[in-house]
Amino acid sequence: MPGLYIVATPIGNLGDITMRAADILARCDGVACEDTRVTGKLMKHLKLSKPLWRYDDHSGERDRARLVESMREKAVALVSDAGTPLVSDPGYRLVRDCREAGIAVTSLPGPCAAVVGLTLSGLPNDRFLFAGFLPNKDKARRETLEELAAVEATLVFYETGPRLTKSLDAIANALPGREVSVARELTKLHEECRTASPEELAEHYTAHPPKGEIVLLVAPPVEEQVNAEDADALLIEALATMKASQAAGQVARETGLDRKLLYARALELRGR
């Protein structure tokens, strides 16, 4: 039937294409996609040949209007370069305009990097907040993390390899004591998911710079509050074998308390 079909495509392993998605791509009149070269490879893998129309963040209202009008007589599949369209990808304006024009919209479930990363991480998944990409600027990135600090859910972000260590450093400062997961190369041969403190992950990825897109997950706030006496006891125990900075880092990870305050307290305790 004519209309818009939102089709999820593989995020890495082409074997993840669903039978229904392949069927829609085979029977539609054309495919609206971010990059015709990327979608062309998928269509070649499926042994399909269809008109490919570019639709991305740079497409204007006129392009969108022509596409919507074509759906009165044609079935058009919307795909992103990978995963589920509209999830941190262009497309919501197209869906909105289709609904306003009375065009039928159908969504096919399938691969989504955010969900794959969440299930791999081992972090709580009964409640989560997907927040897309963190801002590129340091100040905006810090403010975004501070705004989300009180959300009692696992935070899920998309990130790129070159920006990963900066984001991990920002998380260590804005959300101290949180467990963090880095999931990358999802569904591919070298799939990896590491869960540790942001400091430990930053150290690892500074030594081993990652490539490609990444799912970055942050655990919810620590529920139990630690009083001053408990914090002192933990610091004294840690100071028996560690430097003040190391002791502060360890206790911050265990309790969720501010690392800088713990470091200052560790110096006082060591001085005594």
- Asked whether residue 118 falls in the same domain as residue 213, the answer is yes
Query: 25 near 77, Cβ under 8 Å?
Result: yes
Q: What is residue 60's predicted lDDT score, i.e. its pLDDT?
A: 87
Here the CATH number for the domain that contains residue 143 is 3.30.950.10
Q: In what order do the strands lie in the sheet with 105-108?
A: 52-54, 30-33, 75-79, 3-7, 105-108
Cβ 2 vs Cβ 50: under 8 Å: no
Radius of gyration of the chain (CA): 23
Total of domains in the chain: 3
This prediction has a pTM of 0.79
48 and 101 belong to one structural domain: yes
Predicted local confidence at residue 69, as pLDDT: 96
Q: Could you tell me if residue 189 is inside a domain?
A: yes
Q: Are residues 188 and 155 in the same domain?
A: yes
Q: What is the domain extent for residue 261?
A: 228-271
Rounded CA separation 266/260 (Å): 10
At 223 the pLDDT is 61
In a domain, 223, yes or no: no
Say whether both 94 and 152 belong to one domain. no
CATH of the domain at 8: 3.40.1010.10
In this structure, the answer to whether residues 189 and 258 fall within a common structural domain is no
Contact predicate 53/74, CB 8 Å: no
Long-range CB contacts (within 8 A, 24+) of 170-175: 170/134, 170/138, 170/141, 170/142, 170/145, 171/145, 171/198, 171/218, 172/197, 172/198, 172/199, 172/202, 172/259, 173/142, 174/142, 174/145, 174/146, 174/149, 175/145, 175/149, 175/218
Which residues of the chain register pLDDT less than 70?
223-226
State whether 73 and 95 are in the same domain.
Answer: yes
According to the model, what pLDDT value does residue 186 have? 97
Burial of 160 (0-12, 13-18, 19+ CB in 10 A): middle
The per-residue pLDDT for 58 is: 82
Q: Number of helices (H) and strands (E) in the chain: give both, helices first.
A: 11, 10
* Type of residue at 142: R
pLDDT value for 59 = 86
The amino acid occupying position 136 is N
Is 89 within the bounds of a domain?
yes
Domain assignment of residue 196, yes or no: yes
Which of 33, 71, 68, 38 has the alpha carbon at shortest distance from 51? 33
pLDDT given at position 256: 73
Residue 226, pLDDT score: 66
- Gap between the Cα atoms of 87 and 114, Å rounded: 9
Are 123 and 214 within one domain? yes
CA distances from residue 6 to 103, 145, 185, 241 in whole angstroms, order as listed = 13, 31, 24, 57
Residue 60 CB partners (closer than 8 Å, separation 6+): none
Residue 224: the pLDDT is 56
Question: pLDDT tens digit string along 74-106?
Answer: 999 999 999 999 998 888 999 999 999 999 999
- Rounded to the nearest angstrom, the gap between the alpha carbon of residue 152 and the centroid of all alpha carbons in its chain is 17
Token couple for 95: 């869906």
